Amino acid sequence: MPISEETLQASVLGRAIDEASNETVRAVLKSTCAKSDEAHKEAESRLVAVITDAKDEPGAAKTPVPRYAVCVNCEKEFDVTTNTKKSCRYHPRKCEPTGEELWDDNYDEFEVDTEEMRQDFPHCFTFGCCDGNLEDNPEGCVNDFHEEPHSNEKPAKRARAC
Ligand SMILES: [Zn+2]
Ligand SMILES: [Zn+2]
């Protein structure tokens, strides 16, 4: 008997899913898919997209691909079926510690380019691509497609949810 997502969330199982590590939940999902046809189909419909060759003709080659990926530029998860030239906002160049205050206040520190310094002195870290700093413009100065790991190509082909 299926139960509602609310009921599941309120149960011990719901809490267990929230508290287990990603690795454990992935392992459970994989073995659930291997054991149950229904779970397999459901997971596939949610997690796999289909890429159709440029022209959407009948008989065009269809390739199944993972639907979600983490963008190498903005480091956010995105859906390949809704990825457009405006989806991603990022800085193409790294941010460097440049603010004088950073050096003045931390002259005895060995390392100033740390996560903690970035949080404490965001205005002292500027991006090489623009004049933006971590305080004024942490998001980015250009818009583009989200980029998948291990791919230098822009998505020329169109991906769709199954
Ligand atoms: Zn920039
Ligand atoms: Zn992105």
Where along the chain do its domains lie? 1-35
pLDDT at 7: 95
pLDDT at 55: 66
31: closest CA among 48, 14, 43, 20?
43
Residue 34 has pLDDT above 80, yes or no: yes
Confidence of residue 149 (pLDDT cuts 50, 70, 90): confident
Neighbours of ion ligand 1 (CB under 5 A): 91, 127, 129-130, 141
What is the spatial distance between Cα 104 and Cα 124, in angstroms, rounded to a whole number? 11
State which residues have CB under 5 angstroms from ligand 2, the bound ion.
71, 73-74, 88, 146
- The set of long-range contacts for 29-38, using a CB threshold of 8 Å and a minimum separation of 24, is none
Compute the mean pLDDT over every residue in the chain, rounded to the nearest whole number. Answer: 89
Q: Which ligand is nearest to the CA of 136?
A: 1
The confidence score (pLDDT) of residue 20 equals 98
Q: Do the beta carbons of residue 74 and residue 81 sit within 8 Å?
A: no
Q: What residue type is 10 in one-letter code?
A: A
Name, in order, each residue with C-beta under 8 angstroms of 37's C-beta and a sequence gap of 6 or more. none
Lowest-confidence region among 6-20, 75-89, 111-125: 111-125
pTM for the structure as a whole: 0.74
CA–CA distance, 127 with 98 (Å, rounded to integer): 9
Average pLDDT rounded to a whole number, residues 57-86: 91
- pLDDT class for 154, splitting at 50, 70, 90? low
